[in-house]
Structure 1
Amino acid sequence: MSDKDRMSLPGDDVPGSCHKGAGERFSTNFARLSSTGSCVKGISFNSSSENNLPFKRKIDHDISYLDEKRRRDVTETSTCVSPWEFRRLRADLVEAQAQIVKLEDRIDELHKKNKETVIFFDKEKSEMKLQIESNRTTVKDLEYRLHKVKKREAECRQELSEYIKLSESEKAKLNEKLLQLERENNELKGKCDEVEISSQSSVTKFQEEIQNLKEENERLKLNLEEKTELCSNLEDRLSAALKAFNDADSVKDELHLLKIKLQELESEKAQFEESRRLTVVLSEKVLKLPEMEKELQAKRQEVANLRLSVHNKVVLEELIHDLKLKLSAVEEREKQIPPLKAKLAELEMELKKWHTLAADFGTEPTIDSLRWYIESLQEKELNASVETNNLNASIRSSETKLSTLQNELQNMKQIKEKLESSLQKLKVEVQVLRKKSILVTRERDSYRQQLDLYEKDLTMTGLSNENFNNEIFTQMKDRIKTLEESLEEYRKHVEVLENQLKECREEDPVDNLAEIRKLKEEVQNLEETNKFLSKIRDELERKLEIRALKGEYLSPDTKILHFRDNPLAEAQRKQKEDIASLQEECDRLRTRVQLLESGEVMDITQKVGENIQFLSSERVKELEKELESANLKMQRLKEVYRKTSQEFCDVSFMLLGYRIVLVSNNKLYKLYNMYSSSPSDYLMFQLTKNGTMEMLGTPFAESLSKLVDEHLHKGNSIPAFLAAVTLSLYSSNEQSEEDDDDDEPEQEEPPEEIELD
């Protein structure tokens, strides 16, 4: 605060100077609190500064009023401190603590508001993310449907081209068949002509054969009559022979001969029967000749009819093929009609919903109005995203300001505690000094009384005792002198203590704090220079090690000549001296800062020297080196652990097919499969208190109800379930890859477009 803020108002002067230093410490404390008010007012979440102006004015007014009151209380001087003043100081301290509590409550409220706004914006952000994800899923579904439609269109075109190719091949086959049938027809015509010619010649032949057969028939009839007569004779002879068979053996030979003749006759009879049957057949053929001519005419007519039927068949097959194509197209269209009707109904419902939605938003259900509304929504979304970014930035800035405020509050609390401890020390010292002064005054009064008594005794005694009294008088004088000297020493000591107390009270703690800050800055600068120099030294040592490893060293035969006044050695010596002096200065300033922070103001330089004597810069260097080496070891161990853990995770993922992710500290584990198609396909497991694993419900787990029932409910085996999931996902991925491989040539070579009339 400025000096104008510390001016005291008239009419509020209160006597009291013994606690000037403590009052000034309180004033500096509240001055720092008033300075933090400017930081408190910054937590406004990008709102206008006019809304925060009354709160800022109130805090600044209260703190400045308290500061002015403390300053008014400590500006007056007094030789002693009254109990009323102590009570007043205590009341002021309580009031200051209450004000600090109010400020802390206010900061907590602002922090709560900050958290609420963060939660609100996080919710909005999550909702926006969900909306974006839903939009992405719809876009993906539409793209998938479009891909399916394109795929179906390509398949239909391919089928159409195949049908056209089949029809062309069938047409070619039918043309070949037609040509073959025409050839066969021509062959049949030639055969028919040949048959007509051969039939005419055969008729004449048949007539001649019939005549010959008639003649032969007559001849055979005559021969047959002769043979029948012969047979009758032979039968008579046979009967006679049979009768005479019993008479002699010679008859047997004759009988055998007769049997042979009989067989010959039977064979001749069979031949005769065959020739007779042949004549009958030939006669029947001759009788059937006109019928055969009629049949030939009928066959010719049949051939003509067959030619006509073949032509009609070809025409009908073409018509049937066309009708089949039309029927298949109609059937496909009929198959597509129900889903198209359902889709049309859905689209009509969606269109009605869009119309109602547009009517709800007060816009006409037209494309331009909806486009304008969507563009306005997109602009609003962009503005909202910009506002969210701004709010996030403001939240981050407010968090940083809040952290700075909290740090300053902690510093103020520490300073307050230090001031209270110093005040208590000063109070104790004042009480001790008062007791000492009271003891000294009492001792002085007692000595004065003794002197008075001795003087009275001396006046009352006579001259007879003059020699004895002279000795006693000299002894008493010596004693009085020694006592007076000790009294003077006590007085001087009291005066010195009072002067030191006044100096401590007169010293401004703000100046001490400024000096402390300045010393801290100097210490930081010296530490930075020390770090920079240590880095340079480490780099040079590393270069030397590299050169030594490379073999850049001198042979033992070489001799090195050094200058007496070597500038490098002198510069190194100066550098070492500077480093040592800087190290000593750093240690001295560090101890000075520590002493100032501990509240000791008197004889700082002497105490700093005493503390520096106990510190060893070499020990500090050794400890710093050990700390750096320990930090390096820890960092290397962390890196090794990170690498090994990452390697273990990768190996387990490659071997087992699952990546395990720890969700939180409540023993929840997410399992991502290697063959899952989307990152939202995961399984959730929880480690129970009994040491068993339980599977929690996820959308992906709900889609695996069969595997859950089979392996978890019935088999009670989590590894079997995980293996089954891996196998099912692997098989589905293989099938999808085969489908994609089948689809790739279609995409590379699209089918030709064919115009159908």
Structure 2
Amino acid sequence: MEQRFALGMTPDNTKVMRIMGEFHDFMSAAKENSMQQSSHISAIPFSLPSDDDHKQSTALQVSNVLSKVKLKQLESNHSSSEKLLIQRTVNLESKIKELEMEKQILHERCSKYQVQVTDLTQQSIDLSDKVKDLEQTKHEEILKWEESAMEIQRLKQQNEQKFAMQTQMLNERINDLMSQKLTMEKEEQLFEINQAELCSQVEQYKSQAQAAYQLQAKYDEKTNQVLQAEHTIHELKMRLENVQEAENMAHILKQDMNRLRQLEIDVSHLSRENSNLKLNQENCALLKEQLIAANTKLQRLEEKCNEIPKIVAENEALKEKLNKTQNATTANVDDNVSLLQNHSSFNAKLEKEIETLKEQLATSKSRSLEDRKNAAEYEIKFTEQTEAISSLKAQLIRLKKRASLFAYERDSIRSLLQTYDAELTMTSHTTQLNKRLDNMTSVNKKLHDRIVELELESQRHVEDTLRHKLQVKQMQLGGSLSSGQKQEEMSISSVLEEKSNEVLALKEKITSFETERTNLMEKIANLEAWIEQRNLNGDYNPDKTKVLHFTMNPADLAHQQSKRDITELKEQNAKLQLKLRQLEEGHEVSMSEIEFSKEAKTKLNAAELKNQRLKEVFSKKIQEFRQVCYSLMGFQVVCSSDGKFKLLSMYADSETDCLEFEVKSSGEIELLETEYTKTLTDLISLHLHHQNSIPMFLSALTVNLFGQQTMMAD
């Protein structure tokens, strides 16, 4: 119980809790002292006789001494609690004085406001005096004009015969002016009637303007949706371009396949030519050897006819040499046959891969045709949507222009209405201020009364607690049981908790009253600022001042013009509403198109996945094909987008030593001039200009480069 109460304490109640803790410590110490004294007394060996009466008298004396000590401590605690109460009362009195000072300040402000109100009333009286002076001056001027009119009439009477026609014209003009006066008076009456109508129309116009703003917001949302649709269409276009690129890649792959077929044919021709050349070379070598042998034989026969045995020996040696050469030629033929067999197996594998690639190309063609059809449909829909969007943009520009005109006219009408509101009668705010000040004073009085009540209640609670403590101590001194003491201590702690809670509640109420006071002060400041603003705007008291309206007032003309503007604005508003309805209907159609575009997106995603897979397959196959070509032919082929190809030999010294070929539209292949080709003029002139054979040129170049590398290795 003591720990729970300590959590709910405030800084003002710490001393009370300290007193309670000291009280409990004192009680426990008193118990221990009484027990020690009783044990000590029982331990002392008395020489007196051990009678019961003597024991009772000693126990009473000890209890009386303890009770006196406890009473002294209670008195000290009571004095400390009284000091705390005095401090609290002093604090409360200081707070009450502060509130009274604030109340005096508020009264002073109210007196200032009353002085301002009196000044304003004097200003209004001065203005009314000025208006009266102006009326007197106008009356004097009217009298002067009447006197001048009398003089003119006298002159007219004298000159009636001479100016009869002129007088008739003047009379007609006077009649017209009178009729105009009557019409103006009627118009004034109509103006007053129309003014009320204008107010109602302005309210309607405001509601219509709010509806227009809402419609404009809806239109903005729809435009955002249209922009999103445009974005999706743009994405679809990009995907179509990707599909077209895939088609171009497929077309390039087809061309590469055709070129591969031609290369295979060229390879077969080259292999045949190589075999024929090898046979011819062997035959030529044999014929040369035979000629040399025949010449040597003839020379030897002519020179040395006598050396027949030597010639026979030489013939035998030549026969052995011939046998060796024949054996070498047969071995070369066997090697060539094995190479041809390997080449035929590799060609069979290539043909199988080409067939699979053809099948994949056929499937990709069918898919690309479907994608083209879908793309054509999307393009048609896109053109329709672009046309609708362009029309919507044109309408939007028109609506923006009209909205700007609408805002300009609205601002002009607001300015006119503000002038009319300035001319209308307005209630004075001095009575409201007085009422609010009275309310403030009543609230302050209630606060003061409530604080006094709270102080009295706190004093009562403190007195009750002290009485209760004294009763508890008397019960303890009278020899009450330990269980009863614990219960009473619990009850005391509960009472103290209740009192502390009540004190906290009172403090919260005081803080709430202070916040209310600050809010009221802010309201007073706002009212002061508002009064100053109204004074600057030309506010007046309708009970003391009157407003005069002149005939042929520009405000009347402005009022008529505002009527015309309002009618035009109503017509424009109706047109805008119709256009917005049309736009909403068009937007419903666009929503269906957006749903269709979503379906198309799913289809395109599927098509893109298929194309990506095909691209991956094609890229893998192309890489395998390039690696095989590089390992077999000895050249690395690099394609470019301009129909150009770079060939880099396996035996090249550097990457810059490459050949560039260009494929023309007719299908011919030309070698482009580079710095590396300038070093190969002999091979180019022999194989390209004379023989017109690119494969021979490439094979000769590989042989040359291979020979250079082998020479370097040796």
Q: What TM-score do you get using the length of structure 2 for normalisation?
A: 0.28
